[in-house]
A and B are shown apart, each in its own frame.
Chain A
């Protein structure tokens, strides 16, 4: 508790987890808004326009909170992790700067047009603004994921004479295999969050018998989007990420699976609790050989267990990695079930009649957030004890002159401020949902009730 590294880590973990609640929705919604605007443009139907406007409003509130909680992330690399920034800045500065130049300008400009400009630009230009916003937010996701990918599996660098990392191969770094699959996994997760939010709120309206036209169309589109995204989430993106972890981070894989003993025909634990004292998995339900198959493509492949890895290279919190990973996979599997079953109902034309299914969607809204957070905990706690895998330990990356008192103070400050922001956010989102999409009224109304 007196170790400043612990507080630096906790503050970063807290602020990044909180921050990412917002971009995961906006990146997913950006795609869905493009679809809604496209439908509106093609059909000229005011219902699609009303739907798009409602979701742009939700997008706007989320985006605002995402921006203001995102700026602290870029600052904290310097304020809290100065030795890491000094060490790796010569490489990751590239993607951080590219994110600003190629993504944030695009995003902020066209969000301005999308939010404020519907009356000033043509329908076509307004649709184009939605597309540009989608591109900007997805580009932003790419650059920051590529930055993380370097920390997970550094490539394209060389170690300089001054002990700092240098970029040696731009393409290898920016377009690494790890970055590609991590990005694909992260973005499909964002589409899951976005489509579950849209489906859940539409289901809420349908259960109340409100806004039927908009709700039915939004639910249908979001169920289709969720079906595609939830499947892509597991295969191929989740699968490929798992194989990369197996190849490059064996200690992390062992921690994720709670695997202590090395060997062929490694079992995949569905359930169980890691017992760190006795180095075994308690109460396991396991599938023999499946882990070997998933990691390396054959049942006989040997998977290395934690016992064969020096414990100073283990993730420092193995149970956390294990549980986070299992929560992610468990929820991801359940999402496929819900989405595909609902897709079947869409095809049968029976989705809107099944109240229990609408209830499921409404109650499902928080779970993609939980799954995504668990996924990031798996990746980030799983990368430990490294801040740049194999090159720099997390404990060596902090700002040497920023002590426990400073970080505890700022962590408490962030906690309090973010609590207030969270309450205000829920209050405003709640109002928007209660108000719902506004179909064009016969006469212009001066004020909203």
Chain B
């Protein structure tokens, strides 16, 4: 097994090595969250990629689609490929990241994500869709996955006293990234558009270079703590908590424990419940409140959900430091069940305010689920391989990304085909979501400490 020391490369790239990122005395740990945010704010752009879809159907026709223009169905694959490669990269690069440290991982993620945009710009210029699939989808997706997991372990080791808050801050950036990318992309396309050109290629080039620079800044700022470093005045709790281990579990060994699969299910079900709604929020609000919520107001509703998704990441992950990870997920599932169950009722009584309030809380817990899981993994498996284990667990996100929208869309369509009015077509879906959350509640309920046979030996931990 290669060790961290063996991973040092030397030469002009030696500044990327883990040994060159060890913080000197006096370094403020509060510089690490902005380093992580530099990466997460950029890769969060993926949620705003849809702003390019319509303009890319008019690359030849400019004002309207020409016969040779790309179709929306073809363009939809760009996002899907990126999400699949996000999951794959997170799952397969975790061990490498653990060896080489966060700076090299962030640097690589910047090259992949920024480079993906540049290749896509070439694809748009040559009107070759496969180049966009390869650029943003494959290369950009790898940048997404690697960038997502790269600061997690570093933050947890810098903030042993508040691991939830620390990772919550970074993962909040992923939620906020789309809020920046969406208006920025639209504005850039407006600047570059001419009567014979839609401006997508130039926007991709600018975004690619800006994101590469921004993420590189994160790589420059990030530091790992010196061995045995601890925050001033920090004393590890002398009273061990049942679900907070002081041992470490190897990433390969973690996959042999029931706890990994329980957490996989917990994340998958929590994400499924939120992601299906997120994709259909605009249509659902208009169909449940015909005449009350216009298309413009529905766009406002989607914006509000994005905001709660972002804020929930910081709020719930920080709260988990005080109330415990297991209890935090208990709240997600129990409160989520109640809220999903009363959503159809809010439609029935025509209360837009109550409907919006329910979904705002649901989406805050959706974001909170993402942000709290790294600290939960640290509690269960220890810090040594938490980044790599987190990467493997993110496959639950990919699965939920398929499962959630399919569940919402197909059940709605089935209801409408069966003669149910559009305003009531979401009721069954909401009750099914509540049922899924009940399963999630039970999985979380069964969580126990990892059996000691899976713990690493002390000499292996230091290797």
Say whether A and B bind each other: no
